[in-house]
């Protein structure tokens, strides 16, 4: 039941309360406001990433949607803000998207549920692209012509617009500004967070970014790299072969840190040769039959771990970590094959094929299955040449973000089956080479065994947002981040994540307890 103050705030949940935000270069088309009562939902930690599981019961909030356009660009963008009634903590939390989606879809909504449950006003944007996970609907204006305004909205423009709009709506609804503002996102959302720090340093006080899709023009064609190798071999190993190799790699390196937990804690110390496993005989879970590991599976796995290379062996981009799931569901397995009809064929992730078709070849009908290694090199270089300035999000100069008092926490799972964690290493190191005070505002953590935003060891950094807030508001640096690693037997291991380049070291004692570990260089 709403109290007197809450009733007064709720009465402001009307379209007439809000005047158009002052957003340069745009026209506000409409503002709608709807009072939501008795809202109940659950936000699981696997989706929210930076929070524990949050249950929301009988919440009340004002749902405000602002629609606007950039004149001359023929776009129509929606920004959605949830304004809690009765328990606002006087803070804003914006949430990121995933894949080619800027936000305002099911994944973003779940993150908004968590923010709402913790008392934040929360916001998301669709960047004018709708909610389709892949870009067929908006990528091309016509064959050969990319919708660059739409891509620019996804890349950067919508992000600052969203912050300006949300803060204006908050001021008008509560009659005061937020004390602090935060960003939380993974994958696309992680990239968005880094873009905000680089290009819009005043937008948010604290940013939590996981598995960021940095260096987009290199990452997205690289998603197709293992498929190129399989096409070249004309052999497509069964999923169980890759699963066997991943398990073998983990088994070979798991104990090197002194703890057997089905996780490789320090991948730099792991050197696994998949060709030693060729000829292994094992039971294939896909068929229930005994299978012999093929040489082709070793070749493809090795290429996936090494990363994309030119035909003469020169580096193009990083590979995935040992133990990563090449066959991941939901279109994220970059070496995926499909054997449902008795014969295995390549099953590339649309995240890569859509980029190649729509943005590099600019042709929806382009046959990616015919891509040779030389074709791949051409496509890779064309992607970099055309889209680096718009999509790379790799500017190492974070001085404006630092000077604005901003704090950044970044995480990357070492079993990420989609975006190689070494790309995040590369970015952090580029910032550190320019900014010697990096530890004062930017901390980066490897998450051993974690897949792309979730899965794998299941070790989501669920205290991240709480620690980020303490860093921003109280000056408490996050020297470690506690996680729980889960093995296949359901055993849980408490483990501290250490800020890169430090590594977690087992000091002896009970390997399931935090105090048995320390951070060392």
> What digits encode the pLDDT tens for the residues 210-263?
999 999 999 999 999 999 999 999 999 999 999 999 999 999 999 999 999 999
Are 193 and 331 within one domain? no
Range(s) of the domain holding residue 17: 4-214+392-520
Sequence-distant (≥ 6) Cβ neighbours of residue 163 within 8 angstroms: 94, 123, 181, 196, 200, 203, 204
Average pLDDT, the chain: 95
Asked if residue 264 and residue 340 are part of one domain, the reply reads: yes
Q: Which of 267, 56, 92, 70 is nearest to 173 (CA)?
A: 92
Regarding whether 505 and 364 lie in a shared domain, the answer is: no
Same-domain check for residues 234 and 148? no
pLDDT at 288: 83
Domain boundary among 335, 356, 389: 389
HEC string for 284-301: ECCCCEEEECCHHHHHHH
pLDDT in the model for residue 342: 83
71-74, long-range: CB < 8 A, 24+ apart:
71/25, 71/26, 71/27, 73/149, 74/149
Q: Are 276 and 316 members of one domain? A: yes
| 255/341 same-domain check | yes
pLDDT class for 153, splitting at 50, 70, 90? very high
- How confident is the model at residue 277, as a pLDDT? 96
336-353 mean pLDDT: 92
Q: Which of 358, 389, 420 is the last residue of a domain?
A: 389
Q: Is 375 a catalytic residue?
A: no
Number of domains in the chain: 2
Enumerate the β-bridge partners of residue 186. Answer: 210
Residue 322: other Cβ atoms inside 10 A = 22
User: In 3-state terms, what secondary structure has residue 59?
Assistant: strand
The mean pLDDT of 146-151, rounded to a whole number, is 98
pLDDT at residue number 4 = 47
Dihedral sign (CA 289, 293, 299, 304) = positive
Determine which one of 324, 416, 457, 460 is catalytic: 416
Choice among 452, 454, 460, 516 that is catalytic: 452
| pLDDT exceeds 60 at position 134 | yes
Residues 184 and 243 occupy one common structural domain = no
The reported pLDDT for the residue numbered 175 is 97
187, 324, 328, 516: the catalytic one is: 187
Q: Mark whether 137 and 204 lie in a shared domain.
A: yes
Q: Which two tokens stand for residue 378?
A: 């051409």
On whether both 52 and 192 belong to a single domain, the answer is: yes
End residue of a domain, out of 389, 418, 436:
389
Residues 248 and 359 in one domain: yes
List 182's β-bridge partners, or say none: 93, 206
DSSP assignment of 238-285: -HHHHHHHHHHHHHHHGGGGS--SS--S-GGG----GGGGTT-EEEET
Same-domain status, 96 and 138: yes
Gap between the Cα atoms of 65 and 63, Å rounded: 7
Burial class (CB in 10 A: 0-12, 13-18, 19+), 341: exposed
CA distances from 302 to 135, 165, 295, 305, 313 (A): 31, 47, 11, 5, 13
Bridge pairing between strands 180-186 and 145-146:
unpaired
Supply the DSSP symbol for 101.
B
Stretch 113-130: mean pLDDT: 97
> For the residues 313-329, what does the mean pLDDT come to?
89
CA distance 226 to 228: 5
Q: Can you give the pLDDT at residue 330?
A: 52
In the chain the first and final C-alpha atoms are separated, in Å, by 54
Tens of pLDDT along 358-383? 999 999 999 999 899 999 999 999 99
| The predicted structure's pLDDT at residue 332 | 66
Q: Read off the pLDDT of residues 263-299 as tens digits, 9 standing for 90 and up.
A: 999 888 899 999 999 999 999 988 889 999 999 999 9
446 belongs to the catalytic site: no
Cβ-contact 422, 267 below 8 angstroms? no
Residue at token pair 């990452």: 219
- Measured CA to CA, the distance from residue 357 to residue 139 in angstroms comes to 10
Query: For position 145, which CATH number holds?
Result: 3.40.50.1820
Q: What's the length of the chain?
A: 521
Residues 385 and 397 in one domain: no
């Amino acid at each position: 039941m709403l109290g007197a103050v809450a009733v007064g705030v709720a009465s402001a949940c009307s379209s007439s309360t809000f005047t158009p935000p002052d957003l340069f270069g745009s026209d506000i088309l409409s503002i709608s406001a709807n009072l939501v009562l008795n809202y109940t939902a659950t936000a699981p930690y696997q989706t929210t990433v930076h929070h524990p599981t949050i249950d929301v019961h009988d919440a009340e909030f004002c749902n405000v949607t602002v629609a606007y356009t950039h004149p001359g660009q023929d776009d129509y963008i929606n920004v959605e803000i949830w304004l809690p009634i009765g328990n606002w903590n006087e803070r804003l939390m914006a949430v990121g998207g995933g894949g080619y989606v800027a936000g305002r879809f099911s994944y973003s909504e779940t993150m908004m549920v968590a923010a709402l449950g913790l008392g934040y006003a929360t916001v998301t944007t669709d960047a004018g692209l709708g909610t389709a996970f892949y870009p067929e609907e908006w990528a091309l204006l016509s064959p050969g012509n990319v919708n660059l305004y739409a891509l620019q909205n996804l890349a950067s423009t919508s992000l600052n617009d969203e912050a300006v709009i949300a803060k204006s709506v908050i001021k008008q609804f509560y009659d005061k500004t937020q004390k602090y503002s935060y960003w939380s996102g993974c994958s696309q959302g992680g990239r968005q967070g880094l873009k905000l720090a680089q290009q819009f340093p005043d937008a948010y006080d604290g940013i939590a970014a996981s598995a960021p899709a940095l260096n987009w023009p290199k990452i997205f064609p690289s998603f197709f790299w293992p498929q190129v190798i399989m096409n070249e071999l004309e052999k497509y190993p069964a999923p169980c072969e890759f699963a066997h190799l991943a398990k073998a790699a983990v088994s070979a390196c798991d104990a090197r840190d002194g703890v057997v937990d089905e996780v490789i804690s320090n991948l730099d110390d792991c050197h696994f040769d998949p060709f030693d496993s060729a000829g292994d005989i094992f039971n294939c879970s896909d068929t229930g039959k005994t299978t012999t590991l093929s040489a082709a599976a070793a070749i493809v796995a090795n290429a996936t771990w090494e990363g994309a290379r030119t035909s003469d062996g020169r580096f193009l981009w990083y590979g995935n970590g040992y133990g990563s799931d090449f066959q991941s569901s939901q279109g994220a397995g970059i070496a995926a094959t499909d054997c449902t009809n008795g014969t295995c064929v390549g099953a590339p992730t649309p995240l890569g094929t859509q980029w190649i078709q729509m943005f590099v070849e600019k042709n929806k009908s382009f046959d990616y299955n015919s891509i040779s290694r030389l074709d791949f090199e051409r496509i890779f270089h064309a992607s970099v040449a055309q889209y680096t300035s718009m999509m790379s999000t790799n500017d190492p100069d974070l001085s404006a973000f630092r000077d604005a008092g901003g704090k950044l926490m970044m995480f990357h799972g070492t079993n990420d089956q989609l975006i190689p964690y070494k790309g995040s290493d590369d970015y952090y190191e580029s910032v550190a080479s320019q900014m010697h005070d990096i530890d004062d505002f930017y901390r980066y953590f490897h998450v051993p065994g974690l897949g792309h935003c979730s899965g794998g060891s299941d070790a989501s950094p669920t205290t991240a947002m709480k620690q980020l807030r303490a860093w921003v508001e109280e000056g408490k640096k996050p020297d470690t981040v506690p996680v729980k690693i889960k093995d296949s037997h359901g055993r849980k291991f408490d483990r501290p994540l250490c800020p890169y380049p430090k590594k977690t070291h087992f000091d002896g004692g009970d390997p399931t307890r935090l105090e048995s570990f320390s951070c060392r260089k």
